[in-house]
């Protein structure tokens, strides 16, 4: 694995706030370096793709961090010359809560969330899909447009005030 890290570099990104606290993280790397992904439903990922394997949100009051982490992974994988980026997705029911969609699983992501980035389905097994973003055809988009689409999916959870 050390050889793979030497070739690829860091296997993900941390999102750190102004106080130095980690708010979220994302892990990704060459798909062929994740052998267990070959056995997942809807797999295997393409051998020449990068694969997002994990995203973790620490602060539930900052759901936009996931958007930033995914955008960073997309940009970095494109710069590194990967033809595509893949991830495993789950098709949730529309009424599912934020917690169920983003905090219950760290390795399978909401399919509609990934589609907002341009990921397209490759294969499915029940409600699980392997989705792919072709990085060769990506072009810059107006960030505000993408941000608004994703924020609509990531409604912020407001904590209930403590009882007096």
What confidence score (pLDDT) does residue 163 get?
52
2-152 belongs to CATH 3.40.630.30: yes
First to last CA, the chain: 53
What confidence score (pLDDT) does residue 105 get?
80
What confidence score (pLDDT) does residue 157 get?
47
Q: Any idea where the domains of the chain sit in the sequence?
A: 2-152
Per-residue confidence in pLDDT tens, the chain, 164 aa: 556 566 766 778 888 888 888 889 999 999 999 998 888 889 999 999 999 999 988 877 777 889 999 999 999 999 899 999 999 999 998 888 887 888 878 888 999 999 999 999 999 999 999 999 999 976 655 555 655 665 565 554 444 555 55
Task: Check if the beta carbon of residue 31 is closer than 8 Å to that of residue 4.
Answer: no
24 SS3 class: strand
Task: Check if the beta carbon of residue 65 is closer than 8 Å to that of residue 72.
Answer: no
pTM for the full predicted model: 0.79
Query: What is d(CA 89, CA 78) in angstroms, rounded to the nearest whole number?
Result: 20
What confidence score (pLDDT) does residue 1 get?
52
């Amino acid at each position: 694995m050390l050889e793979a890290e030497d070739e690829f570099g860091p296997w993900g990104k941390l999102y750190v706030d102004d106080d130095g606290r980690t708010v979220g993280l994302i892990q990704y790397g060459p798909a062929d370096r994740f052998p267990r992904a070959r056995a997942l439903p809807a797999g295997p990922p393409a051998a020449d793709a990068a694969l997002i394997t994990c995203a973790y949100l620490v602060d539930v009051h900052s759901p936009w961090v996931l958007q930033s982490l995914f955008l960073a992974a997309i940009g970095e994988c494109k710069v590194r010359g990967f033809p595509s980026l893949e991830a495993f997705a789950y098709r949730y029911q529309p009424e599912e809560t934020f917690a169920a969609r983003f905090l219950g699983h760290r390795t399978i992501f909401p399919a509609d969330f990934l589609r907002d980035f341009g990921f397209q389905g490759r294969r499915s097994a029940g409600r699980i899909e392997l989705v792919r973003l072709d990085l060769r055809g990506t072009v810059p988009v107006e960030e505000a447009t993408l941000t608004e689409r994703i924020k609509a999916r990531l409604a912020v959870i407001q904590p209930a005030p403590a009882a007096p």
